[in-house]
Amino acid sequence: MHENKNSASETELSISSLSCVDSERGKEHGKDSENLVQRKCSCLFHREGPLPYPAKSRQGYCTGELVGNETYHSKLLHEVQSFRESEARNQQSGARRVQLLNEEMAENVSSMMSYTEYQPSSANGCLRPEFNEGIKAVHLSDDTFRKVSVMKWTTDDVVSWLESVGMEKFSPAFKAQNITGQDVASIDMELLDSLGISSIQDRELILSRLYELQHPDSGSGHVAQIKGIFQQIPSFESDRESDVSSNGSRKMSFIGEEKQHIDDNIVVRSLKIWHDVKGHPVDTTVMVTSQMTSHDVIVSVLNENDVMDEPSLFTLTRVTMDSNTGEVCTFDLTKEDYPSVIHQTSQKNPEIKARLELRSNKTHQVKVIYDMDEEITTFKMFDVSTMCTCGELLSIAASAYCFPDVSQYCLQAISDKEISQEVGTTKLLLLYNCKTYKMMEKQETVEITRKSSADQLEGISNRKSRIWQKDHSSESRFGKKVSHQEDLSELREGLIEKDKIICQLQLENEAYQVDRRQAHDLRSLFSVMEREMKRGQADLLNKYKMLDQQLSTIRNKSSGILGHEDEVDILQHILIVTSQQIQLVEQRERLLQTQLVTAQANLRPDPLVIQHLKYQLSDTDFCLLDLKQQQADIYRQLKMARRQLAKMYKTAVDPDRFSIFKLIQELGYSPSILHQVVTLNLDMSSNKCDFILGHDSHSRPVVKHADENSSLQKGDHIIEINGASVTHFNESELSKQLLQAASNLCIVVLRKTTNCELKIQEKTEEAESIREDLSLTMIELESIQDENRDIKSELERVSVERIQLQEKNSDLEAQREEIHTQFEQHRQEVQAQIKQFQEQLQKKEKEIQDLKNQVSGPASGLKAALQGLSRKSSILSQLSDGGIKTTINGGPVDSANELHNGDKVLSYEAYGEVPIWQSLQMAPKGDILQALKDQVLENQQQKSYLDHLLTAVIDNAPNLVQVVDQGIGILDQNALDLKARSEEFC
């Protein structure tokens, strides 16, 4: 009994919990579905607490045990019924899936059977008899009309000719205007406009037929008629092909092996095509014939400009402009149009200027993948247009991969979700909207289809066996009496397994979240490392610039300290060293290029090795470019130094020009004494002059006196003041020149130097120190370059790690999608079970209501007796409290009114016809106590009788107890208080 009670309680708990969760789900629809399923699972299996039907004492009538047993049976019946329904649905859905898979298998088999090689047949065998007769009629009609001159044709002859060449739709217009042979021979645009023929295609057709009539030797009329007949033939897999041979003649190949060679070089003219296939707008003049189509002209233009692009990526457009209105019109020519004829007709109107342009219709790029073997996969990128077909892309890819037979390969479109489907050769790429395609052999696609079909058949057989086993087990279980505990345990095990699956999915989701966080951390680390690397590169660049500035400063110092000859020698030495370094770097570059070509030529090239070689090659190119720039700078400096040295030599030997030697000689100094020319900038804003000028014995300006803080020295000979030579100025002119200088005074003086040997030694030592600094700078520069290489290698490693992280992230995204799909499927199954549980619960509630209605009649008598007992108990409580109180106080009796309004049977039972309160109003206390004892004894006898009655009802009809328990409260709190007070009073 206790086991049944616990099982029923747990089952009812599951139903109520599911109902509660379902109601909460409607209110909290915005929350995550994973939390909802987790709450459901916790309600089903992990809830602890008291049972919903507590077991009461025997005296409280133990209703929980009986109701729980009834609920257990109803719940079990509901679960059995729902299990049967689910099995029937699974069987129906399984049969439907088997039917669908069989149909899909039949389609796959039919598609595999369609890959058969086409056996070409002769062209005559493919043609129907009426087409052969049509070809003969073309020859006869042409011969008939060519016997008579066009100029002698009447209107009827013109109409007959139009009908014979397939232009009968223009016959009414020609007949209405009375067009004769003379009008046809001199036809122009105005005549066509008057006839109402405005379409360019119609005009082209009329002019081409007229040209064929006037030039019978061209043979193009037969070709045009044969082409028109062949266009009416139903399309085959091997359609007609046309190409232009090397000698200019055109070959047309129709279905089969029979080919006709037709010479189109009858009318040849030059045609100017404007294009920008090389990146800049130019025009190309090509020689075309009247029978060359737009496709042939495009091929000729591309061949003239040595462009290897596919002709289908270009379109020939005719651009016209009206000279009067300035209106510009464009018209795209199809592949079958004749641009020579169209351009010739458009040039007849002088007011309209026309030209042909070759325009590119490239819109995007697609990737074509090809598996060379099981381990090596390669891909190529191709430019395509929106109007490009899959067959054209297949031919382009096959020519790029050097596959001669295109018919042995096919394309598969790979979408963003990595779902591949085979594409049709005649369909446009725009229909698939994919950027990645895979080229495969047709045998591989057949093997893949067969393998997938075999896997599908095996899955179908497994599903059929499982469905049969479930059906057989259900029939055997419900055909005889089976323990409900076993069914319940099986259902519970199924729920536990589903809970385990949910827990596993949650664990996988947590693992995915952890991996995702790790990937985010790695990306953050990579971004930080990238920023650090950029910062390090910036620091190295700044440091390199500082060292370069120091080097330039040192070179300037060396050029200022050393003589021009020493500077030329140093620059020549540096130039030689730089040239040697350039040779070494070029040798290294050639070696790296050889290694890169060798690595790419391997059957299984290592991408990391190739990438590393490319990085080294780019680093070498950068270093070589830097060295060449340094070499150019050094060469320029050397050239300037040599020019300056030559200028100095020329100045020293030229007697006509002013020189320092001549000046020294004129001033009377000994040539053995060294002099130097010094340029000084003096600030005259304070209007104070810290020097005195005068003239020497040779009447040359000289400094007579100078302060200690002055830049001038006593004995300095003034040569220039602010760019003007003052060597021959007198005092007045010199004073005027000084006054003209406003605030800044630039003076060039000739100063005698002392201690020349000591200064030369100091300059030599300073030059040596500069050379040492230069060597140290070069060493530091080499170390910085090594550090830069290390940083580049680290950047390469980080880039490889980034690629790996991206691949791992893509795998994690795929796992997350799979987990989410499984989770959604399980959630839908749980919702279906909840719905079944709710339906069964409503059915049971309806059955309970029916049972209540059935037992309402027998329970009315028992209900009346229980109501009387409750009223008696209330009267005794009022009598014990209110009656004695009124006797003692002597006031109005409120309890008497209550007795009068209540059940009067109990009032008159104690003392006959007289009410109890009247007979005991003046009675002594002993009489009152004796009356109360008698009444309590009577109540106890009635209670024992009711106990026996209820025991019999519980044993024979337990359903009545539930009805009575719901109708009245037999264990009312007032009755319990009355019982306690009565026992205490007695």
Mean pLDDT, all residues of the chain: 67
pLDDT of 39 reads: 39
Q: Reduced to 3 states, what is the DSSP secondary structure of residue 496?
A: helix
pLDDT of 833 reads: 86
Give CA–CA dist 430/860, Å, rounded: 83
The residue extents of the domains of the chain are 2-97+466-515, 128-232, 364-451, 522-656+761-853, 675-752, 859-985
pLDDT of 249 reads: 37
Pair 947, 862: CB distance under 8 Å = no
Give CA–CA dist 793/612, Å, rounded: 8
Beta bridge partners, 273, equal: 284, 356
Using left for φ > 0, alpha for ψ between -120 and 50, and beta otherwise, residue 747 falls in beta
Domain 128-232 matching CATH 3.30.70.20: the answer reads: no
Give CA–CA dist 655/641, Å, rounded: 23
Quick: pLDDT tens for 779-814: 777 777 787 788 888 888 888 888 888 888 888 888
Q: Give the closest residue to 365 by CA, choosing from 310, 292, 407.
A: 310
- CA neighbours closer than 13 Å in the CB half-sphere of residue 265: 11
Residue 77 CA to its chain's centroid (Å): 53
pLDDT of 252 reads: 37
Average confidence (pLDDT) per 10 residues, the chain, 986 residues = 42 39 41 40 36 36 38 56 65 61 58 40 38 42 56 85 84 86 80 81 79 61 43 39 38 36 50 80 80 83 80 82 78 77 67 80 79 73 77 80 76 70 71 77 56 53 58 48 59 74 78 77 75 76 72 58 64 80 83 80 74 80 81 81 66 44 55 63 71 81 83 82 81 81 76 60 69 74 79 82 85 86 87 86 84 66 64 64 42 41 41 57 76 84 84 77 59 53 47
Quick: pLDDT tens for 49-99: 333 333 333 333 333 333 344 454 455 566 666 666 766 666 566 556 656
The residues, any chain, with a CB within 8 Å of residue 713's CB and separated by 6 or more, are 703, 706, 751
Pair 894, 885: CB distance under 8 Å = no
Residue 599 CA to its chain's centroid (Å): 33
Tell me if 364-451 shares its fold with 675-752.
Answer: no
Give CA–CA dist 905/362, Å, rounded: 110
Give CA–CA dist 897/879, Å, rounded: 12
Q: What is the CATH number of domain 364-451?
A: 3.10.20.90
- CA neighbours closer than 13 Å in the CB half-sphere of residue 799: 12
DSSP annotation of 218: G
Count of C-beta atoms within a 10 Å radius of residue 910? 17
Give CA–CA dist 554/570, Å, rounded: 12
Q: Reduced to 3 states, what is the DSSP secondary structure of residue 382?
A: strand
Two tokens at 631? 């070499």
* CATH class of the structural domain 675-752: mainly beta
The residues, any chain, with a CB within 8 Å of residue 694's CB and separated by 6 or more, are 701, 702, 703, 704, 731
pLDDT of 744 reads: 75
Entry pTM = 0.25
pLDDT of 736 reads: 82
For 703, phi then psi, to 5°, come to -85, 115
DSSP annotation of 411: E
Give CA–CA dist 717/693, Å, rounded: 9
Pair 917, 881: CB distance under 8 Å = no
Q: Reduced to 3 states, what is the DSSP secondary structure of residue 292?
A: coil
Q: Reduced to 3 states, what is the DSSP secondary structure of residue 725?
A: strand
The residues, any chain, with a CB within 8 Å of residue 652's CB and separated by 6 or more, are 659, 661
CA angle (242 as vertex; 238, 246 as ends), nearest 5? 140
Pair 309, 382: CB distance under 8 Å = no
Residue in the structure block whose two tokens are 């997938």: 452
User: Which amino acid would we find at residue 655?
Assistant: P
DSSP annotation of 709: T
pLDDT of 507 reads: 80
Give CA–CA dist 506/510, Å, rounded: 6
For 751, phi then psi, to 5°, come to -120, 135
